[in-house]
Amino acid sequence: MSGPLSGLRVIDLTTVIAGPFATQILGDMGAEIVKVEPPQGDIMRAPGPGRSPGMGAAFLNCNRNKTSLCLDLKDPADLARLVELIGGADVFVHNMRMNAARRSGLDPETLGARFPRLIHCAIVGYGQDGPYRDRPAYDDIIQAASGWAALTADADTPPRYAPTIVADKTAGLFAVSAITAALLHRERSGEGQAIEVPMFEVMVSFLAVEHLAGMSFVPAEGPCGYDRLLSPGRRPYRAADGHVAVMPYTGAHWRAFFMAAGRPDWAADPVLADDRQRAAAIGILYERLADCLSGRSVSDWLATLEALEIPCSPVNRLDDLADDPHVRATGLFVETEHPTEGRLRSVRPPIRFSRTPCAIRSLAPPREASR
């Protein structure tokens, strides 16, 4: 059975992570993805680990369900071929800076005039109506610019990047939702349109949901920052033989936890009965939580907490997840045979459709396939 986007054709002129991640999701949903690479290949082919040149793990993990074509856009014949491909497609996605796109005639105005049903999606660093529009941008830069890197910084802790490509992948998800919405509009109206997905604005929007906080009001009712998330006490907690994640959320959770921990005095604290008071006291509550957890084993606590229906989890390493009982039961990790790279492990599309399921129809194209 075909995915929900079966029959759609996407020309993918993106590199690194944000664009390839977005188009892979579209491909998982059934769209035909034609990945256009320069003669040297997508730069993300290089980083390892890998079994052969140009087939690194990160490339394999965001370029399945695609065919690959090598075009040198400095060659007029190759550029003309790309434009011809775009003319026969439903969606064109790129992450070029817009000045470069305009020089090549790949900007939304030029292509939209020729192909009025085309969905043109540009994933850019910064919105094109602002002074940063021509700046180069990568994930680390956007983490810093958007406020992410400084969220947990203080006098003793310097700013830090998240150990994942969070800005790229978040922008990719925004691009997928925007493209599918534009396709729905075209279905109703017959009109294509241009989409701009600026990483900087996307990440500011992403963080503002909870961290705009007091600055949500005019005049401000306080600074930015959601106190619970920024509390030093919010962390995996040390048990007698390891670490455990515990998140009592409601007043009932906290009372049940403190009773199970043998602290009826803390369970009787009136602050637990009021949502606002409990939120204001979250730092103290987290200190009490840490104090209680240290005396018993992880397995003992997990059994107790699960019986009380208090949210909890072991602190897994990524290396352990392939053997996690839930991961195994849901078939989240799948093994496939790549034509050049041999046996591979990957994560299946996590979203389930009851009538039009996603599928891994093909694996990331080998380097030579794009030439």
pLDDT at 154: 84
In this prediction, residue 156 carries a pLDDT of 85
CATH superfamily of 9-206+332-370: Crotonobetainyl-coa:carnitine coa-transferase; domain 1 (3.40.50.10540)
Cis peptide before 158 (omega within 30 of 0): no
| 336 contacts 344 by C-beta, under 8 angstroms | yes
Phi–psi pair at 198, nearest 5 degrees: -90, 120
Structure tokens at 331: 């078939």
> Residue 92's closest CA among 125, 60, 66, 120?
120
In contact, 119 and 185? CB cutoff 8 Å: no
From CA 177, how far away is CA 249, in angstroms rounded? 30
Collect the ranges in the chain with pLDDT lower than 50.
Answer: none
Sequence-distant (≥ 6) Cβ neighbours of residue 245 within 8 angstroms:
236, 237, 312, 313, 314, 315
The SS3 call for residue 29 is coil
- The pLDDT assigned to 1 comes to 57
Superfamily of domain 237-314, CATH level 4: formyl-coa transferase, domain 3 (3.30.1540.10)
Q: Using CA of residue 39, residue 41, residue 47, residue 51, what is the dihedral sign?
A: negative
User: Which ranges constitute the DSSP H helices of the chain?
Assistant: 18-28, 57-60, 76-87, 98-103, 108-114, 139-146, 166-189, 199-211, 227-230, 251-260, 264-267, 275-280, 282-293, 298-307, 325-330
Say which residue the tokens 């680990």 belong to: 49
pTM of the model: 0.94
The H or E element that residue 337 is part of is strand 333-338
Q: From the DSSP assignment, how many helices (H) and strands (E) are in the chain?
A: 15, 11
Q: Are 123 and 93 in contact (CB under 8 A)?
A: yes
Mean of the per-residue pLDDT values of the chain:
96
The structural domains of the chain, with segments of one domain joined by +, span 9-206+332-370, 237-314
Q: Please give the order of strands across the beta sheet that includes 237-239.
A: 237-239, 242-246, 312-314
Q: Would you state the pLDDT for residue 369?
A: 61
